[in-house]
Chain A
Amino acid sequence: MMSNTYTEEDLAKNLEEQDYKYGFTSDFKSDTIPVGLNEDVIRLISSKKEEPLWLLEKRLQAYRAWTTMVEPDWAHVNYKKPDFQAISYYSAPGQTKKYESWDDVDPEMKETMKKLGISMDEQQRLTGTAVDFVVDSVSVATSFKKKLGELGIIFCSFSEAVENHPELVKKYMGTVVPHTDNFYAALNSAVFTDGSFCYIPKGVRCPMELSTYFRINEGGTGQFERTLVIADEGSYVSYLEGCTAPMRDENQLHAAVVELISLDDAEIKYSTVQNWYPGNKEGVGGVFNFVTKRGLCEKNAKISWTQVETGSAVTWKYPSCILKGDNSIGEFYSVAVTNHFQQADTGSKMIHLGKNTSSTIISKGISAGQSQNTYRGLVQIHPGADNARNRSECDSLLLSDRSGAHTFPYIECKNSTAKIEHEATTSKIGEDQIFYCQQRGINEEKAIGLIVNGYCKEVLNNMPMEFAVEAQKLLEISLENSVG
């Protein structure tokens, strides 16, 4: 490997140069602050990030709200509640090396990455052992940035946005997910360390998929990530979040907030693949993924969420759309796979405020092992939302006798002109389907992959092609040895 030709000094130099280039120097001076959470800790985070006062004020407001809130327990999940005073709320993102050398990386994880067809360079980068890759990716990211810059598109870390585009951050942050929204959103608003920011100017159609792939190279994702995407009038953007590669992380609690703002006639397509560490086969360890994702649609605007969720020990996530403007459209396409002892409670909320608004929810839950998989969704038609339309389709597929599938659809309709359709099915993967495949020469494991991918096709079809191909492979791998 090229990494052999690199010395420690070279690495240090590269990192230094990179930090300098993006104004991150201050971020990497100290790694962590002591565990615990109070107003001083929040002031410390804010000062370490050299933030403006208004942002500190926002953080403190959120913190004060958080102290009055209780952790929600309505979700259909069971876990030991985190001790919020035992967490360190600031660690420098990104450059913390997770593994000393390639040999230290978990062989099972290496195997999975090989199966996913991830290149050696990429594998090393993802596990944090990439030494040689840094230079390459910076140059890729730089040329990428230049092209976007010519169109006036801003795509940067949240910290950079605070520094360089404070007016945009100030105007939109917290408008879709206020800090009072829920326990985890409040926590995130108080202690978030970084995240992604994206702004597409009026009338601009972003010519490429914006991917956090590039962002990760620059800043790294944190435990409390914050994403803000603004599509100005008549613009379009397709945004990809996450990565199919297994993400092993020491942080057990992840509480991200994602806000999307789609102004008049704009469209945002937001695709996620979530593959955080799900814990081992006995259900020990794994990430708690408590995410608040919501988008706001103005007149004739559209937001489309697509997610493939295979990771995390516990998932609690409801990407939602507020259809405020007349004729706006919200979509939610989801595949959630749980295996072993994983638990997922996920779905969507479609809030219809404007006239002639329409929404679609397509949810495919797949449960294997002893896992529990829940769809929870809300369709809310407000009195002024004349001629609102919703179609929901929630399908559950059981791969084992010990797994569970649950559906909790809530419908609140306050306008008699609304049309709401809800369809739900639960099925068990058919032995006869598997045998039919076997009789054609396809083994059981591949047969399950084929059947499951077919089952999820409607959702996968909504993803950008390359992402969908990776997601398909990921589904197959997540369900290995899962029938019984």
Chain B
Amino acid sequence: MLTIKNLQASVEDGAEILKGLNLEVKAGEVHAIMGPNGSGKSTLASVLTGRNGYEVTGGSVDFDGVDLLDLDPEDRAKEGLFLAFQYPVEIPGVSNVNFLRTAMNEIREYRKEDRLSAKDFLAKVKVAGNLVELSDKLSGRSVNVDFSGGEKKRNEIFQMAMLEPKLAILDETDSGLDIDALRIVSEGVNKLRTKDNAIILITHYQRLLEYIKPDFVHVLSDGKIIKTGGAELALELEEKGYDWINEEIAQ
């Protein structure tokens, strides 16, 4: 589904962050990307989704046969790429429901599908809301305005449930969540897993991976994936720290 080859990217002022990153994600898989602060995890999410302020200096990203880097950010979303933001943005005066309705209609139009009827849309809102225990009240409120930290993260997963992406990148969705919220969010994500979609989890901690079992764990360091393993790699990292890998590689 996603093939990243030798991806190199810099921030606009020049510093190179990604230095030849390779990653292959197939449908039905969950990949965890771990790594110390500053290793390039969030940059990877930004570059894949097309955020301003980054320059791709080399490599390629193929997303189901489409050159992802060639598309505008909104078209990447329409192709089925979703990012659960680490810091979800507030949009005052725009209700969550209206926001999602606009997004869904845009995506459906791109895919030459009919608009959802109000009835079908609201039925979907109910199901998706239940999934992350987001009350009806929140879906009527302005996007992320006056939401608690946990509510914002749940709202991201709610949106993921509504938009049904092929590939979802969860950028530190576990940060700032208490244990109950973490469980709710993780269970929501697990229910959204199918054999046709894929998930990339970006996280610092192994804690999230106790709830969402990854098929692969990658360690990102200095802009490259330096080690790949199964779920057990996360445990080993938790125990020994990132320095252990650097030492292992140095040997």
Contacts and interface: CB of A to CB of B under 8 A. Distances in A.
Contact of A443 (B72, B82, B85, B159): B72
B103 interface: yes
B99 A430 contact: no
A348 B91 CA distance: 28
B89 interface: yes
Interface in B57-92: 72-74, 76-78, 82-83, 85, 88-92
Given A431-B52, A454-B142, A440 B93 contact: no
Given A435-B51, A441-B74, A441-B78, A454 B92 contact: yes
A444 to B, nearest CB: 8
B94 A435 contact: no
A76 to B, nearest CB: 27
A456 B107 CA distance: 26
Contact of B93 (A431, A442, A456): A456
Interface string A425-440: 0000011110111111
A94 B124 CA distance: 52
Q: Give the one of A433, A437, A457 with max B CB within 10 A.
A: A437
Given A446-B102, A450-B99, A450-B102, A438 B93 contact: no
A482 interface: no
Interface string A413-432: 00000000000000000111
Question: Shortest 4 CB-CB distances between A and B: which pairs?
Answer: A454-B93, A454-B94, A457-B93, A440-B103
Interface residues of B, number: 32
Nearest to B52: A431
B91 A442 contact: no
24 contacts: A433-B89, A436-B89, A437-B74, A437-B91, A439-B49, A439-B74, A439-B76, A439-B85, A440-B100, A441-B74, A441-B77, A441-B103, A441-B106, A442-B74, A442-B103, A444-B74, A446-B106, A450-B91, A450-B102, A451-B91, A451-B94, A454-B94, A457-B94, A458-B93
A312 B113 CA distance: 40
Contacts of B104: 441
Contacts of B163: 440-441
Nearest to B110: A441
Contacts of A440: 77, 99-100, 103, 159, 163
A438 B94 contact: no
A467 interface: no
Contacts of A431: 52
Contacts of A432: 89
B89 A442 contact: no
Contacts of A441: 74, 77-78, 103-104, 106-107, 110, 163
A455 interface: yes
A438 B77 contact: yes
A282 to B, nearest CB: 28
Contact of B106 (A443, A454, A456, A458): A443
Given A439-B85, A440-B103, A441-B104, 20 more contacts: A431-B52, A432-B89, A435-B51, A436-B89, A438-B50, A438-B72, A438-B74, A438-B77, A441-B163, A442-B103, A443-B74, A444-B74, A450-B94, A450-B102, A451-B91, A453-B93, A454-B93, A455-B92, A456-B93, A458-B93
Interface of B: 49-52, 72-74, 76-78, 82-83, 85, 88-94, 98-100, 102-104, 106-107, 110, 142, 159, 163
Interface in A142-195: none
B91 A436 contact: yes
Contacts of B77: 438-441
Interface string A350-384: 00000000000000000000000000000000000
Nearest to A450: B94
Nearest to A430: B89
A279 B249 CA distance: 66
Contact of A442 (B51, B82, B85, B102): B102
Q: Give the one of A432, A438, A455 with max B CB within 10 A.
A: A438
Contacts of A435: 51-52, 73, 89
B93 A439 contact: no
B21 to A, nearest CB: 20
A452 to B, nearest CB: 9
A463 to B, nearest CB: 15
Contacts of A457: 93-94
Contacts of B110: 441
Contacts of A453: 93-94
A334 to B, nearest CB: 15
B52 to A, nearest CB: 6
Contacts of A437: 74, 91, 99, 103
Nearest to A460: B93
B124 to A, nearest CB: 15
B107 to A, nearest CB: 4
A427 to B, nearest CB: 10
A436 B94 contact: no
A430 to B, nearest CB: 7
Contacts of B85: 436, 439
B74 A455 contact: no
A444 B52 CA distance: 12
B83 A439 contact: yes
Nearest to B89: A436
A269 to B, nearest CB: 22
Nearest to B106: A441
Contacts of A455: 92-93
Interface in A228-246: none
A431 B74 CA distance: 14
A438 B88 CA distance: 13
Nearest to A451: B91
Nearest to A364: B93
Nearest to B162: A440
Interface in A107-129: none
